[in-house]
Amino acid sequence: MSAETRARELLLDNDPDATAAWRGADATNDEAFREAQRVWSAIGRTSYARDGRWRLEASRRAPRWATPAAIAASLAVAALIAPQFLDRPDQSLRTAIAQTGTVSLPGGERIYVGAHSSVDVRERIATLKDGEAFFDASSGPLTVHAKGAVIRASGAKFNVRCTPDGLEIAVLQGRVQVLKRTWPLAAPTPAADLTGGQQLRLSGSEVANAAPLTTDPEGWRKGRLLYADAPLREVVADANRYSAHPIRLASRDIGDLRVTVSFRTGAVGELIANLDAGLPLNAEREADGDIVLESEPARN
């Protein structure tokens, strides 16, 4: 039985002693119970819940064999939906192009938000909607939702970056658990356990094996973006979060090119110069300042 399901059972059973013992046995249990409480509270704030109609309808529909466990399982869908549709975040930060920011949590955790990125936070649960963020959970537990992944950490520092093809999680220190949803309403299933010095890439329903870090997870915080054998589309997507004039790829196959490159976040021109010199590409600047990367014409 998952921690989430057990937490909902305890909420329904309303047994303070059993609840206290279970929450105290493991930090993951406590986190699951707090999230279940948050969802329960959110559901209770809806007008449908307040007028009590659901109780009458539930009594008419529920079979005699329905148990707290079965009811808790049926609430799983609500638990998946509620964080997005029923709760309002305690804090939200949306950064502009070339702008970064920080979200501080009451427990001492910090979230460093990259350029042109968006993060919502409620209690110790953060949702990275797009872009990139570095999470310092060295002082307590933190859960991160991003692109269908659920990342749980305590006593860890890690970076999460949305890519055109999926998600990259890079751990600087500590331990991080990664879970993945195969479809929006599915319960998350374990995908990997990462430790400091490891990274993981997720693309759709595919999960790559954990691998050693190839770049510094805090590189962007130090003002430099670094890539090792990365697809060009990924490099360009990140560069566009720091450039007032976006870079466009003339064709999809150009984005498949693999590059190893480094450039300062405040000098995207360095990237263009390196790509122009090191790859069979031409960089054309349009009248509005945007840059188009095109394949270099074949030479006879």
Is 218 part of a structural domain of the chain? no
Mean pLDDT over 104-131 rounds to 94
CA separation for the pair 185, 187 (Å, rounded): 7
Report the pLDDT averaged over residues 82-94: 68
Q: How many domains does the chain have?
A: 3
Domain check: are 182 and 253 in the same one? no
119 and 207 co-located in one domain: yes
Q: Is residue 300 part of a domain?
A: no
Q: What was the pLDDT predicted at 59?
A: 52
* Co-location of 113 and 196 in the same domain: yes
Residue 70 pLDDT > 90, yes or no?
no
Residues 189 and 143 in one domain: yes
191: in domain: yes
pLDDT tier for residue 93 given thresholds of 50, 70 and 90:
very high
106 and 191 share a domain?
yes
Alpha-carbon Rg of the chain, whole angstroms? 23
Contact call for residues 162 and 144 (beta carbons, < 8 A): no
Give the lowest-confidence range in 48-57, 199-208, 216-225: 48-57
pLDDT confidence bin for 38, thresholds 50/70/90: low
Is the model's pLDDT at 45 over the cut of 50? no
282, pLDDT greater than 80: yes
Average pLDDT, the chain: 82
Same domain for 134 and 104: yes
Query: In which band, very low, low, confident or very high, does the pLDDT at 41 lie, cut at 50, 70 and 90?
Result: low
Q: What is the pLDDT, as a whole number, of residue 129?
A: 94
Q: Are residues 145 and 180 in the same domain?
A: yes
Asked if residue 184 has pLDDT above 80, the reply is no
Residue 46 pLDDT level (bands cut at 50, 70, 90):
very low
Same domain, 164 and 136: yes
**Does one domain contain both 99 and 184?**
yes
pLDDT, residue 51, reads: 52
Do 281 and 294 form a contact (C-beta atoms < 8 A)? yes
Distance between CA atoms of residues 20 and 23, nearest Å = 5
Does a structural domain hold residue 29? yes
Query: Distance between CA atoms of 43 and 224, rounded to whole angstroms?
Result: 44
pLDDT of residue 83: 46
**What is the pLDDT at residue 56?**
52
* Segment 54-75 mean pLDDT: 50
Does residue 184 lie within any of the structural domains? yes
Q: Is residue 59 part of a domain?
A: yes
Q: Are residues 163 and 179 in the same domain?
A: yes
Confidence of residue 262 (pLDDT cuts 50, 70, 90): very high
On whether both 54 and 113 belong to a single domain, the answer is no
pLDDT given at position 170: 97
Of the ranges 102-106, 202-206, 286-290, which one carries the lowest mean pLDDT score? 202-206
Angle between helices 27-44 and 3-13 (to 10 degrees): 60
Instruction: Please report which confidence band the pLDDT of residue 25 belongs to, taking 50, 70 and 90 as the band edges.
Output: confident
| pLDDT on residue 159 | 98
| pLDDT higher than 80, residue 15 | no
**What pLDDT, on the 0 to 100 scale, is given for residue 13?**
61
Range scoring the smallest mean pLDDT among 27-41, 170-184, 211-225, 259-273: 27-41
- Final residue belonging to a domain, choices 85, 107, 124: 85
Residue 287 sits in a domain whose CATH number is: 3.55.50.30
* Domain assignment present for 217: no
Residue 178 placed within a domain: yes
Give me the pLDDT at residue 84, please: 45
Could you tell me the CATH number of the domain that includes residue 128?
2.60.120.1440
Domain assignment of residue 147, given as a range: 91-212
Domain limit, last residue, from 158, 181, 212: 212
Same domain as 250, residue 268: yes
Q: Which of 36, 58, 85 is the last residue of a domain?
A: 85
